[in-house]
Structure formats: C-alpha cells, structure tokens
A and B are shown apart, each in its own frame.
Chain A
C-alpha cells in the first residue's frame, strides 16, 4: 500500500492518468446524483433504486449492441424506456408513499431496488457485460496517460445532458412547475399545478437521466446486476456533500469522488475500491454529523 503511494509521488504521470480517468467517470456519478437530488428535493423521497435505474439503462445498451445496433443510440432509447418505467413505478407504488415519512420511502424503494436487481440477475445472469462502442484510445504525455475515447465521449454526453436538464428546469412550463412544487407543494396546488403529474414527471425524469447514465456506463465501463447499490451510495454521498439543488456543488463533488475513488483503488488495490466507497460514505456522514453537532452548540 505504501509502495503504491510512493509510485504515485515518483511517477506523476500515473497520478494524472488516474485522476483524469476518475474525473471522466465522475461526470456520470454527478449526473445520477443530480437526479437523486431532484427527486429528494421535489418529492421528499430518497430513492434507493437510483443505481438500479442506472443498471437497467446499461442493460438496454448491452441488449441493443448485442442485436447489432450501435450502443450510442441506446442513450436516448434507455432514457425513454426508463422514463416509462419511472412513470409506471410512480403510478403503482411511489404515489402512495409521497406523503409518508422519509423512512417509508427508503424501505419501499429499497424493495424496488431488490426487485429490479434480482429480476435482471434471474433473466440475464450475474455475468459482467459490456456494450462495445468500437472506439480507439487516446495516448497523452508520451503514452503514459491513456484515455479511452468512449470515456471522453461519455463525459461530453453527460455534460450535454446536464445542460439540457438545467435549461429544461429553468425554461419549460413543466420545469417551472417542478421547481414550484419543490419550493412549496401546497402553494403550487393552489396555483393550479397538478402536483401529482409533476411528481410523476419528476420521478420519470430522474429515471430517464439514470437510464442515459447507465447506457454510458455500459459503453465506457461494465454492467452487471449488482452495480446498483454502489451508484445509489455514490449519489447519496454526493448529494450530502453538495446539498440539495446545488448543481455546481454536485458536479464538483461528483468529479472529485470519481478521482478519489480511482486513486484509492490504485493505492489500496482494486479489490478494496468498493469498500472504500462505502467507508467514505460512513466518513462523510459522520463528518456531516460532527459539523452539525458543533453548530448546535452555539445554541446552548
């Protein structure tokens, strides 16, 4: 472990490689996290099935590329399909728990996440899958830094999606209705906004966002039925650090999480990378709690 740290100091190009690749994957984390923040802020629901939506989007890309369609086309297809799934889930389950306490939503979406994850495991098996995009690799700094073009492309697409989402929320009627409902659902109802529809659209939009992310993940990285929970945990962590409705914070936190995770994976060994993510969540929560406790002392 210390040897690996030493390598990082002695060979800065490796560090650059790790950080750059981490930032590229971080864009996907940030996008999924923004979706979670949206649902949390508007509907007061913490969606544990967030990562499963990502996983499903990934499988859309895998299936399409297995049938000879270029997986890049899977990005919009996954978004549309997942929007439908999100809408359906809202109409069957989520609308019953919107008004209930946060923990009910955690448990219910946890159940949904198990259903989706085990469904995919039963149908497609637990194997690791990829959707080949057949793109080359960029070599920088004399070949010491390798960047797969598909990762760069997925980063760019994630950025585009984020911009589109922000414009949608700012400009469109539905986006304005979503933001109004987030501020005060009752007042929004009084003003004639159908909040039930807004909730359904928000949940669907989040699922669509995750689906698009998932298609990118399947192309640039890998998918298997159990990748969901790490994505959920990452999203949650990013939202906690950045706060609700803070897009710049979400992007910064997402990119730095990606970089930190990659470096930690190299230093500790890749088999500990997931453990690092989950332990980082615990550390972040404990740190947040400690900060809150300090704030509370001023009231004494």
Chain B
C-alpha cells in the first residue's frame, strides 16, 4: 500500500469512528462533542501560536463573540432579545422554538457568529498584530479579560446572569448527539482546511514570520496583512465552535463559558503545546489526550483540578516544551520527521504525520 493509500485509509477510519462514536458510547456524547470542539480550539490556536509564532492568550474573544452572536441571532429572529433575557427571572411569557424556526436560527446564527468573530479579528488584528511577540501575548491577555468584563456588565445580552440558548423542539431528540455531529463536522473541516493551508504559500509565509519576521518582511512579505489573515481564519472556526458550544452547554455565562480565559483560553494553549506546537497533528493529539486526562482524573482531584492544571502548564512549558509530536520527531526522525520536497514552482510538499 502506498503512502497516499495509507493516509486515505487512516482518514476514512477516523471518519468512521467519528460518525459511529455516539452510537457506540451514548453515555459520553457530550464529552465527545466537547472533544471535537477542543480539537478546533487547539488547531486554531496553533495557527497563530505555533505556525506563526504569535502566542495569543485572547483567542477566547472570538469564541465568546461567536457564541453570543449565534445565540442572539437564534433568539432575535423570533423574539425581542431584551424581553427574552429579562424574562429569565420568572416572567409570564413563554418562548417556543418549533423545528423550522430552530433550524433556521441555527443555520443563520452559526455563520453570523463566524462573520462577527472574523470581523473582530480583522479589526483587533489590524491594531494588535503590529506588535511583536511578548507585547502581543500580554495585549491579547488584556483583550480576553476586557471582553469578558464588558459582556459581564452588558444588560441587553444578560450581563452577569448569563443567557440561555433557545430550548430545542422535542423532535430533535438527543441534543448532545445533534450537536456532536456539528462539532465533528467542524473539527474535520478545520483540520482539512488548515492542513491544506499549511501546504500553500500562505503556510510558508506564516512559518517565515515565525522564524524571522524581519527577514520575511525584507523578502517582500506584507507581514501585518498575512498575520491578520491568519488570525481571521482562526477566528472564523472559533466563532462557529462558539455557537456550537453555547448550544451544547445550554447556558452561557459571560466569564465561565463565553470569554473563559481561565478554562478554554488556557486549555487551548496547553493542548497545542502538549501535542506539539507548529505541527498539524500535534494540536489534535494534545486535545484528545487533554480531554481524556480531564475526564478521567477531574472528579478525583476534588476541587484541585485548576491548581493541577496550572502545575501541568508549568511542567510542560519548562520540561517538555517541544510537545509529544516534537519529541517523536526528535526521537524518530525517519518515521515522524518533516520531509520537505521543493519543486520548481516554489511550492513545497510537506509530508508529516
């Protein structure tokens, strides 16, 4: 069997497992849906953090914007948002979403979320991505918290008491299974698009920015424009994943779900570094491993999870910065190493597992 066949067989196997998983392990559907969203988080973080060398602590901004935009669209199509959010305290009004309207809201809400997140990335990126490395990192840290604080005080979107996504109609049945397939599809699309992107000139350009930005600029690359484009791409996928996550969780807290720097914001960095940043498969491996560890050990840590998480970050960053895939590449270069074959047209073919 040739390499291409092996690759195809591997991907078909993952597809089959992904499609069948909710029927095989119905008890873990919501965790598996979360897993695919984590894959999206890690992959999109790695686009700027690993491949481009711009480590962001603020990608949750796009997650939160996507989440709020999607849910607000879903509600806003049928009802007044102010009344909807105001009635949570026990109003007399009931809000019913029947199947066509629910699907319509979702079909409109997810793209709106992606669009607004992309817009935010373009506007913020134009300002923020002119900065180099560590200034960018701390600036995005500020952005993430600022967004959470604003959402936490904005009455119209529910402020600190959060927002409840529309109640789905009975026909949909198992909600976790319904959104599992959304999450799975999104993860697959994200993976394929980013895999393709890294093989294009754009991929080479962002790697060049990571390796030496001044030289990349001297070679004639419009670095700021490329950086903004990369961030926008990350934001699109994060925006969609935000819409899915909000509906999956059934409740949006501005600081604990939407703009959650302390959980999702940290986890996406951790997953990407754990798996190996700057690789395509690394973030996927990191996300799977992290979700498995999280689900297996979380309950036994009795409230010490977040302390353990901080320790894990310190340990990984200090002792294991190259990640799993990076370590495998160093250890077994002939099996996992990068093979770059440049042809005359200037594009490079990279085969890395």
Within 8 Å CB of B269, what residues of A?
Answer: 107
Q: Quick one: which of A93, A104, A272, A281 contacts B153, CB cutoff 8 A?
A: A272
Given contacts A103-B55, A114-B266, A289-B131, contact A282 B318 (CB under 8 A): no
For B55, what are the chain A residues with a Cβ–Cβ distance below 8 Å?
103, 106-107
One of B134-142, B243-251, B325-333 contacting the partner? B134-142
**Residues on the A chain within 8 Å of B130, using CB:** 286, 289-290, 293
B311 located at the interface, meaning its Cβ lies under 8 Å from any Cβ of chain A in the complex: yes
**Chain B hits for A103, CB < 8 A:** 55, 133-134, 137
B213 to chain A, nearest CB (A): 13
| A278 and B142 in contact, given A107-B317, A112-B310, A112-B314 (Cβ under 8 angstroms) | yes
Q: What's the nearest-Cβ distance from chain A to residue B328, in Å?
A: 21
Q: Which of B28-36, B105-113, B299-307, B343-351 contacts A (4 or more CB under 8 A)?
A: B299-307
A285 lies within 8 A of chain B by Cβ:
yes
Give A269's nearest chain B residue, CB to CB.
B153
**Once the chains are docked, how many angstroms separate the CA of A148 from the CA of B139?**
34
Contact A289 B313 (CB under 8 A): no
Closest to B255 in A: A226
A163 close to B (CB within 8 Å): no
* Interface pair A46/B317, CB less than 8 Å apart: no
Q: Nearest Cβ in chain A — how far from B93, in angstroms?
A: 27
In the complex, the chain A residue whose C-beta lies closest to that of B312 is A111
Which residues of B are found within 8 Å of A46, using beta-carbon distances? Answer: 134, 138
Q: Determine the distance from Cα of A118 to Cα of B57 in the docked complex, in whole angstroms.
A: 18
Residues of chain A within 8 A (CB-CB) of B137 are 103, 106
B128 touches A275 (CB 8 A): no
Is A274 part of the contact surface with B, judged by Cβ < 8 Å?
yes
Is residue A128 contacting chain B, with contact meaning CB distance below 8 A?
Answer: no
Among residues of B, the one whose C-beta sits closest to the C-beta of A115 is: B310
**For residue A156, which residues in chain B have a CB less than 8 angstroms away from its CB?**
none
Q: Once the chains are docked, how many angstroms separate the CA of A293 from the CA of B306?
A: 40
Task: Give the interface residue-count category, chain B.
Answer: 35 or more
Closest chain B CB from A64 CB (angstroms): 24
Bound: A290/B303 CA distance, A: 45
Does chain A have a CB within 8 A of B175? no
Contact of B57 among A110, A112, A281, A286 (CB under 8 A): A110
B56 smallest CB distance to A (angstroms):
11
Among A111, A113, A275, A281, point to the contact of B149 (Cβ < 8 A).
Answer: A275
> Inside 8 A of A122's CB, which chain B residues have their CB?
303-304, 306-307
Residue B163 CB within 8 A of the other chain:
no
Chain A residue at minimal CB-CB distance from B302: A122
Q: Which of B131, B145, B310 contacts A274 (CB 8 A)?
A: B145
Pairwise interchain contact A286-B128, C-beta atoms closer than 8 A: yes
Interface check B197, CB cutoff 8 A: no
Judge if B143 is at the interface, Cβ distance under 8 Å: yes
Q: Is the beta-carbon distance between B314 and A106 smaller than 8 angstroms?
A: no
Contacts of A115 in B (CB 8 A): 307, 310-311, 314
In the complex, chain A residues whose CB is within 8 Å of the CB of B317: 97, 104, 107-108, 111
Q: Return chain A residues, CB-CB under 8 Å to B146.
A: 274-275, 278-279, 282
Residues from chain A with a CB closer than 8 A to the CB of B352 are none
B143 in complex: contacting residue of A93, A118, A229, A282, CB < 8 Å: A282
Known A110-B313, A111-B311, A289-B130: A278·B149 in contact at CB below 8 Å:
yes
Binary contact track A108-132/B, C-beta < 8 Å → 1, others 0 = 1011111111110110000000000
Instruction: List residues 156-178 of chain A with CB under 8 A from any CB of chain B.
Output: none
B307 touches A104 (CB 8 A): no
A256 to chain B, nearest CB (A): 18
Q: How far is the CA of A233 from the CA of B57 in the complex (A)?
A: 13
Tell me, in angstroms, the Cα distance from A20 to B314 when the chains sit together: 40
B262 at the interface (CB under 8 A from A): yes
Tell me the complex Cα distance, A247–B121, Å: 36
6 contacts between A and B (CB under 8 A): A102-B134, A233-B141, A233-B142, A236-B138, A271-B153, A275-B150
